[in-house]
Structure 1
Amino acid sequence: MKCNINDCGGNVVDDEPNYIPLGTDMVLKITDKRCEKCGAVYVGGQYQKLERIQNRELCDKLYRFYEENLHG
């Protein structure tokens, strides 16, 4: 897909995923799209991939990361 936000002609690719802990053993992985050329970000709907990952260890790591960065 080509960028249609800024009409720069850049390729739209998967962006770096974001992770949100859901409870104590589940994590939501959110992957949006972005233009390689201009950096425009496509969020939600057809441009977003959502994946639920059941992993207690990953969830614990995310909580520790947030605690260290919010209160550190």
Structure 2
Amino acid sequence: MSDLVQRLITAHRNLNREIRRELARRLPDTLRLARLKKERLAVKDRLFRHFPDASHMNRVIRGAPRRARHA
């Protein structure tokens, strides 16, 4: 997998994390949320340029290395 795709996947995950963090706040900043969601969509669009078949993209993203999660 190319470095660009890896960076896009990482950026998408980081944006998801920031969106969840903002939503968890007592008073979420709606402007920040809108900006984060817009950025996330732009990253997703760039990923789709590399993987026009969404099912293939999902398999690649799920298989991409990520930090281990502990339950």
Taking structure 2 as the reference length, the TM-score comes to 0.32
| Higher relative contact order, chain-length normalized (CA < 8 Å, sep 6+) | 2
Name the one with the larger strand percent.
1
TM-score under structure 1 length normalisation: 0.31
The structure with the greater share of residues assigned to helix is: 2
